[in-house]
Amino acid sequence: MEKLIITAAICGAEVTKDHTDAIPYTIEETVREAKAAYDAGAAIIHLHVREDDGTPTQSKERFLKAIEAIKKECPDVIVQPSTGGAVGMTVEERLQPTELDIEMCTLDCGTLNFGGDEIFVNTENEIIEFANRIQSRGIKPELECFEKGHIDMVKRLAKKGIIKGPMHFSFVLGVNGGQSGELRDFLFLKDSLPMGSTFSVAGVGRYEYPLAVASIIEGGHVRVGLEDNIYIRKGVLAKSNGQLVEKVVRLAFEFGREIATPDEARKILGMGE
């Protein structure tokens, strides 16, 4: 089996300091969390940025500041800015980080309810726009799929030559409104992928570690982090993103998967080819 690529989703757009003090808002806090995750074994930092008061932003300038500061501490890490941003942002707002010199970012592959009255909108034409803008700049898209219909969307766009291979998927499971994160959900999605694809799994909340183990066993990769889950175990808040990554490293060791360095991750994902 390939080595295991660990992605740390250190911040997100929805979790606040009312949920956990560990969630980063300032650049200093963002670097602290990225470095803790990297030191623990994360090869990829999935990055959202916030204003100092916690407001989610897709500002190019804020991303640049955060990326430069992270790279100072973690020179070889893969920084993967979000193009999902927060619910309600416009396409142009969300695309801002793709104007920077980045090697990877997310590409969200469908619309879904996002809890309460929220809808995370990604129409087919918008997905095409994101795909074109991301790929024309030589950036590797991580194809975020919250349910099976999103994989079908990718397959259709790949057939038309709009989304190009090698394709790397991320299943984000357990969002209120998306597909659940039971084992059968994961296996169904994994078995639905185009041949030759790579995939990573992010389980929201209580699904985080059961799905991490499933992906470790099945040859996939793993995303953890405070964006997805704030608990290290039932009822106990994680002290940091580093602690969440350390737990994946322990589990991977028990199942005989070695951890990929950022450069090994680049090779596994066919980046820069």
Give Cα separations from 1 to 51, 100, 141, 252 (angstroms).
41, 34, 23, 12
Question: Near ligand KMH by CB under 6 A, which window of 106-114, 122-130, 159-167, 254-262?
Answer: 106-114
What stretch of H or E contains 157? helix 148-159
Report the residue from 7, 58, 82, 83 that binds Zn ion according to the rule CB under 5 A. 82
- Rounded-to-integer distance, Cα 228 and Cα 114, Å: 13
Distance in Å, CB of 82 to Zn ion, minimum = 4
Residue of the chain from 37, 43, 66, 86 that contacts ligand KMH (CB under 6 A)? 86
What would the two tokens of residue 123 be?
């129409």
Give the residue with the Cβ less far from Zn ion, 9 or 167: 9
> What are the CA-CA distances from residue 46 to residues 11, 104, 160, 227, 233 (Å)?
8, 9, 28, 9, 22
Least distance to ligand KMH, CB of residue 1, Å: 27
Q: Residue 8, exposed/middle/buried by CB under 10 A (0-12, 13-18, 19+)?
A: buried
**Least distance (Å) from ligand KMH to the CB of residue 250?**
26
3-state secondary structure of 119: strand
| β-pairing verdict for 140-145 and 119-120 | unpaired
Per-residue binding string, ligand KMH, 117-156, x by CB under 6 A, is ---x-----------------------x------------
Q: Measured from the CB of residue 161, what is the shortest distance to Zn ion in angstroms?
A: 27
Among the listed ranges 17-25, 81-89, 132-140, 251-259, the one in contact with Zn ion (CB under 5 A) is: 81-89
Cα(54)–Cα(143) distance, integer angstroms: 26
Q: Which residue's CB is nearer to ligand KMH, number 82 or number 215?
A: 82
State in angstroms the smallest separation of the CB of 12 from Zn ion: 5
Beta strands in the chain (DSSP E): 6-9, 44-47, 49-50, 56-57, 78-81, 104-108, 112-113, 119-120, 140-145, 168-173, 198-203, 221-224, 231-233, 236-237
**Which of 13, 22, 154, 245 is close enough to bind ligand KMH by CB under 6 A?**
13
Interface with ligand KMH (CB under 6 A), residue total 12
Can residue 265 be called a binding residue for ligand KMH (CB under 6 A)? no
Residue with tokens 């897709």: 58
Pick the closest to residue 162 from 192, 198, 139, 133 (CA basis): 133
Does 91 engage in binding with ligand KMH (CB under 6 A)?
Answer: no
Site for ligand KMH contains 45 (CB under 6 A) = no
Residue 87, interface with ligand KMH (CB under 6 A)? yes
75-83, 89-97, 149-157, 189-197 -> range binding Zn ion (CB under 5 A)? 75-83
What does the binding site for ligand KMH look like in residue numbers (CB under 6 A)? 12-13, 82-84, 86-87, 106, 108, 114, 120, 144
